[in-house]
Amino acid sequence: MFFIAQPDNFDYNLEMAYSLDFRRKVLSVREKKGLTIAEVAARFDVGVASVTRWVKNIHRKPQGFRQRKIDLDVLRQDIRDYPDAYQYERAKRLGVAQNAIFLAL
């Protein structure tokens, strides 16, 4: 079988999003050659789930920071009131996850 696109480094593709041009190319080849989703996924060495997602919506989900429910002013006051507190203690007092405290600090 002839592969049009073959990744040089497998780990590289796991961390990067596929470009819009590449996704259009995959769907174009699928349409022109009449391939199934599994066949086109194997041909381009991408996941079947990715191609299925692209058929439904070719555009990526927007990336960025999620809205946090932690109020930074309240966190500042908590730091003033309890300067030696552990992050898990702050998280419990403020009603958030410890990771939210970590990221806010």
- pTM attached to this predicted model: 0.49
- Express each pLDDT in 1-41 by its tens digit: 455 555 544 444 445 688 899 999 999 999 999 999 999 99
**Amino acid (1-letter code) at residue 23:** R
Tokens of 52: 């299925």
Of the CA atoms within 13 Å of residue 58, those in its CB half-sphere come to: 10
Burial class for 30, CB neighbours closer than 10 Å (0-12, 13-18, 19+): buried
Q: What proportion of the chain, given as a percentage, has pLDDT over 70?
A: 78
Give residue limits of the domains in the chain: 20-56, 72-103
